[in-house]
Structure 1
Amino acid sequence: MSYTLFYAPGAASMAVHWMLIELDVPFKTVLVDIDNNQQRNQDYLRLNPSGRVPTLVVDDVPYGESVALMMMLADRHPGSNLLPEPNTAQRAEWLQLTLYIANTLMPAMRDWLYAAKDGDPGGAAAVKALAEKRISATWDDFEKRLRGGQPYLMGTTFGTVDMLAIMLMRWSRHMTCAATARPVLRKYIDHVCERPSYRDLNEREGLSGWPD
């Protein structure tokens, strides 16, 4: 099997990149310069008609959508321990939490980041304010999970939901609802970001300055 990840540093591709590192499988990366709209050129659009990152080419077939890619990778690498086993109560909880992140938190993040670009610039402030309320509500839910002392969102085992959550918490760093401003979440962030795979990811993508 072969993997080629088309990515942009710190973007929605970050969690997929991190998962490939955690899986310790061979893969190639191709940088997409989204600042110069490289994701809109015809070569890239042939791979991903939505013009977004990531794209993961699996055995010469391109696929998109971060959460879907992570679920596909988990299926292709059973025994990775990055998600609960099928037909268990934890698997049902994992699916619920994963879709909650994908359907609630990720859209709110996009609304905040692209409020002026995707919609009327005159209404951007109101869109961002509503997005921050939705993001803060998600942080509340995450804190409830972590207040009992468990190290990860799903309990004692690190997994895909943590990679998604940390990526999105990083996106909040310039918001008034920054995840690092909450002590419970900051403790979680500091713990997860000590993983060698996260440090490797940051080095590969040239990222720094968070969560410091």
Structure 2
Amino acid sequence: MLKLYYAAGSCALATHIVLEEAGADYSTARIDFAKEQQKSPEFLKINPKGRVPALVTDKGILTETPAMLVYVAQSFPASRLAPTDDPFAFAQVQSFNSYLCSHVHVAHAHRMRGHRWVDADDAHSIAAMRRKVPETVGGAFELIERDMLKGPWVMGDQYTICDPYLFTLAQWLEKDGVDLARIPRVVDHRRRMYERKSVKKAIAEETA
């Protein structure tokens, strides 16, 4: 059985949704950031990075959301969550998810985790990073809106592992100060994702 370590409100939601979509047999374990459980010796044995998500499989432990999404998609091919039979289309899926991971999520993190890049007591630099977030995150989502979201789903007609990942990061738009009026297609995508049974179930568990 697979086991997903997650924290409420984190990017782990994407993998949680995909596990549901795939019909996987899995369990979950919540990590409480407020109690700094991600720094506990027990969790660091699971993920030395001290972050979520982490996915325990029968072959070992996976970290990093794009890797976990691909693993689930390939482990449950009948779910058709990734075009694994088309090398170029599959690469496009990984390109999109890599952008979310390497750029969009990092830009978002500048709002509350500036201490990763500057000294924690450098209030001026941390404040400057926070002020920049609406511009950087907003710009990234405008690019997605204009050039990357093919519609109705990220890759077009086929729902893929890109959709739960985009949805998860889109949960943070309001707090990041992004002007939703500039990204109507992203907002509509988020609305339609909320209607999916898998999304409702994953959110319900993580917010219980």
TM, length-normalised to structure 1? 0.87
Distance change >3 Å, CA 146–CA 52, structure 1 → 2: closer
Indicate the residue corresponding to 1:206 in structure 2. Answer: 207
Q: Point out the more displaced range, 175-184 or 155-164.
A: 175-184
Indicate the residue corresponding to 1:210 in structure 2. Answer: none
Aligned length: 205
Indicate the residue corresponding to 1:160 in structure 2. Answer: 161
Distance change >3 Å, CA 168–CA 160, structure 1 → 2: same
Query: How far did 1:172 drift?
Result: 2.3
Q: Deviations over 1:16-75 (max 9, x none)?
A: 111111111110111111111011010111111011111111016222111111112222
Secondary structure in structure 1 of the residue aligned to 2:95:
helix
Which residue identity lines up with residue 153 of structure 2 in the other structure? Y
Q: Is the 8 A contact 2:4 2:27 kept in 1?
A: yes
Indicate the residue corresponding to 1:142 in structure 2. Answer: 144
Query: How far did 1:180 drift?
Result: 7.3
Distance change >3 Å, CA 41–CA 88, structure 1 → 2: closer
Q: Is the 8 A contact 1:151 1:191 kept in 2?
A: no
Indicate the residue corresponding to 1:59 in structure 2. Answer: 58
Which residue identity lines up with residue 40 of structure 1 in the other structure? K
Distance change >3 Å, CA 66–CA 179, structure 1 → 2: farther
Indicate the residue corresponding to 1:127 in structure 2. Answer: 129
Distance change >3 Å, CA 66–CA 14, structure 1 → 2: same
Q: Is the 8 A contact 1:7 1:32 kept in 2?
A: yes
Q: Is the 8 A contact 1:173 1:180 kept in 2?
A: no
Secondary structure in structure 1 of the residue aligned to 2:201:
helix
Unaligned runs of at least 5 residues, structure 2 = none
Secondary structure in structure 1 of the residue aligned to 2:80:
coil
Which residue identity lines up with residue 171 of structure 2 in the other structure? R
Which residue identity lines up with residue 121 of structure 1 in the other structure? A
Q: Point out the more displaced range, 47-56 or 136-145.
A: 136-145
| Distance in 1 of aligned mates of 2:29 and 2:6 | 6
Indicate the residue corresponding to 2:48 in structure 1. Answer: 49
Q: Is the 8 A contact 1:15 1:66 kept in 2?
A: yes
Q: Is the 8 A contact 1:146 1:152 kept in 2?
A: no
| Distance in 2 of aligned mates of 1:116 and 1:49 | 19
Q: Is the 8 A contact 1:116 1:123 kept in 2?
A: no
Q: Point out the more displaced range, 136-145 or 44-53.
A: 136-145
Distance change >3 Å, CA 73–CA 124, structure 1 → 2: same
Report the RMSD for the aligned CA atoms in angstroms: 2.2
Indicate the residue corresponding to 2:15 in structure 1. Answer: 16
Q: Whose RCO is larger (CA < 8 A, sep 6+)?
A: 2
Secondary structure in structure 2 of the residue aligned to 1:165:
helix
Percentage of identical aligned residues: 23
Which residue identity lines up with residue 23 of structure 2 in the other structure? D
Unaligned runs of at least 5 residues, structure 1 = 208-212
Secondary structure in structure 2 of the residue aligned to 1:144:
helix
Which residue identity lines up with residue 5 of structure 1 in the other structure? L
| Distance in 2 of aligned mates of 1:73 and 1:27 | 11
Secondary structure in structure 2 of the residue aligned to 1:49:
coil
| Distance in 2 of aligned mates of 1:197 and 1:147 | 21
